[in-house]
Amino acid sequence: MAISLNLLQLQANPARPKFLKWNPVRPAVYFRAPARSTVVMSQITPSYWATINEDIEDHLRQVIPAKDPPAVFEPLGHFIFSAPRNSAPALCIAACELVGGRRDKAMAAATALQLIHAATYTREYPPLTAREISRAAVVDRIYGANIQLLTGDAIAPIVFEILAGSCDWSESGSERVQHVMVEMARAMGTEGWVGGQFRGLEEEATAEEVSEKTEGGLHACGGACGAILGGGSEEEIEKMRKYGKLVGMVKGLSKNVFGGKENERKREKIEEFKVLAFKVLEGFKGEKVHEIYGFLDFEGL
Amino acid sequence: MAISLNLLQLQANPARPKFLKWNPVRPAVYFRAPARSTVVMSQITPSYWATINEDIEDHLRQVIPAKDPPAVFEPLGHFIFSAPRNSAPALCIAACELVGGRRDKAMAAATALQLIHAATYTREYPPLTAREISRAAVVDRIYGANIQLLTGDAIAPIVFEILAGSCDWSESGSERVQHVMVEMARAMGTEGWVGGQFRGLEEEATAEEVSEKTEGGLHACGGACGAILGGGSEEEIEKMRKYGKLVGMVKGLSKNVFGGKENERKREKIEEFKVLAFKVLEGFKGEKVHEIYGFLDFEGL
């Protein structure tokens, strides 16, 4: 029984946006991705991360449909491409290569991770699901809250459609993709990002607890899935999961560090996690280990 | 690599709700499912549909976790079990049996369909994502809008976690589950329920257009997935998809038919779809065909 994946058939053509026909004002917004310079994650070896992020960006544009009706697909494209780039997808590719896998093996998973981030980012609409009002300034307000929430809901199933269509399921290795699907479902749901959002609604929640489940969970998933798809051993998979979690928490805590006592504590935690993350990489060999260290030298995103 | 599925390990125990420990007021609400009489879908052969719905209900209680933290899993359980039962899951089982498959082959998919319905129902929070304010009266207001929206987001990944864990992926037949995942992703997303919600936000949208994508899409998915998992032929799968779509539209249009000119048109459409649905079943043989006719005799739900 042939599985035809619409998403893959209806590829967006970045050179000539299809939406141009209907609304000449919006395409510039629709296809406005963050400048690539903001996606470079390491100051030491920009070229490695830059090539990974370029490949992910290209793949994302290939699999996201630009089709009718514009009322649905225009906001879908807008929110997917205007969401800030997350570093978990790049870590997924790097983990795959670290354990000896080919980059393309982890590309669908990396794209799926960026979509999970775009979905959660789109849904975190300030008046309802985020505590800080400051976020309101970050989110583009071209569309109403109803369209924004529906679009977030629409992005999530695409994650699994892409994963399900990413391999020939009669071949060996397809059980790896099954494993990745379960990992991704957890990183999205109550044990992952949504769980972190729930925690964030509680008054006594600390930034550490929230970032453990949100950025920590997504990066842990990225590291583990990359190692799974690259054919890593059980030990390598768990090491990459742990490394990802620590890196994700560093990234989560690094947001909004300005000064003050609470921030002093955050800075200490960040340094502590960096040391732990460094230790996790012990035992890995080859030039790729140096590349993956690069994640630790980067505080922003 | 062993796939341990947390959901399956942490089974809810209906006899003694775990939440009783933390909040003695809520468990009655949490475990309040609609009375089974409301789930019986056919007046002609209630026993067939009743057994299907009982099996789905049992399976749903098995796979939905009741665990810590209660701030997350209490609303999760509440919205999943208080959402009205949809008939697409039962159609999925019936389609599987119609093409000669065993009931348990389609049970995970049927459960997943009820979860898709529960997720979309939970997210249709009136002020933002539904046009009719009347829905406000239907939805329980124990939790705030933020919790309700987050919970809806949390239900969706469980759908795919259940499907991914529903078969041994090294065995033949696993490509059927892959096919079902793609079908479900579409029934949820922009081509399905979310697409219908988008359409529903537009002023000129008709009930027919909305129900084609929402109930029509979900029942089409139910019919097709049941036939896929039951080992049906390509022709049988497409027939069940078509039958499901017509039945779903009948169910969608049957909601809120009270009188008036617009409703006169709806009634005509309902009758038209019933005739078409009847014709689609031509060619199927065996006693199960009579059972599946039963869907057409039922106007409510």
pLDDT of residue A106 exceeding 70: yes
> Higher pLDDT residue, B33 or B93?
B93
In angstroms, how far is CA A219 from the centroid of its own chain?
8
Q: What is the pLDDT of residue B68?
A: 82
* Annotation: CATH topology of B43-297: Farnesyl Diphosphate Synthase (1.10.600)
**pLDDT, tens digit, 9 for 90 and up, residues A107-129:** 999 999 999 999 998 888 544 44
A194 interfacial to chain B (CB closer than 8 Å): yes
Q: What is the pLDDT of residue A1?
A: 40
Mutation to test the B interface, candidates A182, A188, A197, A213, most B Cβ within 10 Å: A182
Q: What is the pLDDT of residue B35?
A: 42
**pLDDT, tens digit, 9 for 90 and up, residues B80-108:** 998 888 999 999 999 999 999 999 999 99
Q: What is the pLDDT of residue B23?
A: 35
| Sign of the torsion angle spanned by Cα atoms A234, A236, A238, A241 | negative
pLDDT band at B211 (very low <50, low <70, confident <90, very high): very high
> Higher pLDDT residue, A25 or B115?
B115
* Burial (CB count <10 Å: 0-12, 13-18, 19+), residue A264: exposed
Contacts of A145 in chain B (CB under 8 A): 128
Contacts of B182 in chain A (CB under 8 A): 3, 5, 161, 164-165
Mutation to test the B interface, candidates A155, A161, A170, A238, most B Cβ within 10 Å: A161
Q: How far is B72 from chain A (nearest CA, A)?
A: 7
Q: What is the pLDDT of residue B221?
A: 97
A residues 239-268 closer than 8 Å to B (CB)? none
pLDDT of residue B32 exceeding 70: no
Per-residue pLDDT averaged across A76-90, rounded?
Answer: 91
**pLDDT, tens digit, 9 for 90 and up, residues A14-71:** 333 333 333 333 333 333 344 444 444 444 445 788 889 999 999 999 998 778 888 8
Q: What is the pLDDT of residue A223?
A: 97
Q: What is the pLDDT of residue B46?
A: 55
CB contact under 8 A, B73 and A161: no
Nearest to B5 among A76, A161, A182 (CB): A182
Q: Which two tokens stand for residue A206?
A: 């600390």
Q: What is the pLDDT of residue B102?
A: 94
Interaxial angle between packed helices B193-201 and B215-229, expressed in degrees from 0 to 180 and rounded to the nearest 10 = 170
CB B289 within 8 A of CB B281: yes
Question: What mean pLDDT, rounded, does chain A reach?
Answer: 78
Q: What is the pLDDT of residue B28?
A: 30
Give, in order, the Cα–Cα distances in Å from A85 to each of A35, A79, A90, A117, A118. Answer: 10, 12, 10, 8, 8
Per-residue pLDDT averaged across B16-40, rounded?
Answer: 36
A residues 154-193 closer than 8 Å to B (CB)? 154, 156-158, 160-161, 164-165, 169-170, 174-176, 178-179, 181-182, 184-186, 188-191
Q: What is the pLDDT of residue A155?
A: 94
Q: How far is B187 from chain A (nearest CA, A)?
A: 9
CB contact under 8 A, B182 and A3: yes
Q: Which two tokens stand for residue B133?
A: 């304010």
pLDDT of residue A11 exceeding 50: no
Mutation to test the A interface, candidates B115, B120, B146, B213, most A Cβ within 10 Å: B146
B residues 87-116 closer than 8 Å to A (CB)? none
Q: Among A150-159, A231-240, A256-265, where is mean pLDDT lowest?
A: A256-265
The rounded distance, in Å, linking the Cα atoms of A58 and A241 is 26
Q: What is the pLDDT of residue B21?
A: 33
Buried b / exposed e over B24-61, threshold 16 CB at 10 Å, is eebbebbbebeeeeebbbbeebeebbbebbebbbebbb
pLDDT band at A258 (very low <50, low <70, confident <90, very high): low
Q: Among A47-51, A130-134, A292-296, B22-26, where is mean pLDDT lowest?
A: B22-26
Mutation to test the A interface, candidates B183, B198, B236, most A Cβ within 10 Å: B198
Nearest to A145 among B123, B128, B186 (CB): B128
Q: Among A72-76, B23-27, B31-35, where is mean pLDDT lowest?
A: B23-27
Contacts of A185 in chain B (CB under 8 A): 157-158, 160-161, 164
pLDDT band at A6 (very low <50, low <70, confident <90, very high): very low
Q: Which two tokens stand for residue B178?
A: 């892959």
Q: What is the pLDDT of residue B40?
A: 42
Q: Which two tokens stand for residue A46?
A: 């920009």
pLDDT band at B297 (very low <50, low <70, confident <90, very high): low
Per-residue pLDDT averaged across B270-298, rounded?
Answer: 84
> Higher pLDDT residue, A132 or A55?
A55
Question: What mean pLDDT, rounded, does chain B reach?
Answer: 78
Domain ranges of chain A: 48-297
Per-residue pLDDT averaged across B196-201, rounded?
Answer: 89
CB contact under 8 A, A185 and B129: no
Contacts of A195 in chain B (CB under 8 A): 72, 154
**pLDDT, tens digit, 9 for 90 and up, residues A207-233:** 899 999 999 999 999 999 999 999 999
pLDDT of residue A248 exceeding 60: yes
CB B123 within 8 A of CB B252: no
Per-residue pLDDT averaged across B178-188, rounded?
Answer: 93
B205 interfacial to chain A (CB closer than 8 Å): no
pLDDT of residue B170 exceeding 70: no
CB B221 within 8 A of CB B189: no
CATH class of the structural domain A48-297: mainly alpha
Q: Among A4-8, A67-71, A168-172, where is mean pLDDT lowest?
A: A4-8
pLDDT of residue A164 exceeding 80: yes
- Ranges A193-202, B167-176, B222-231, most confident: B222-231
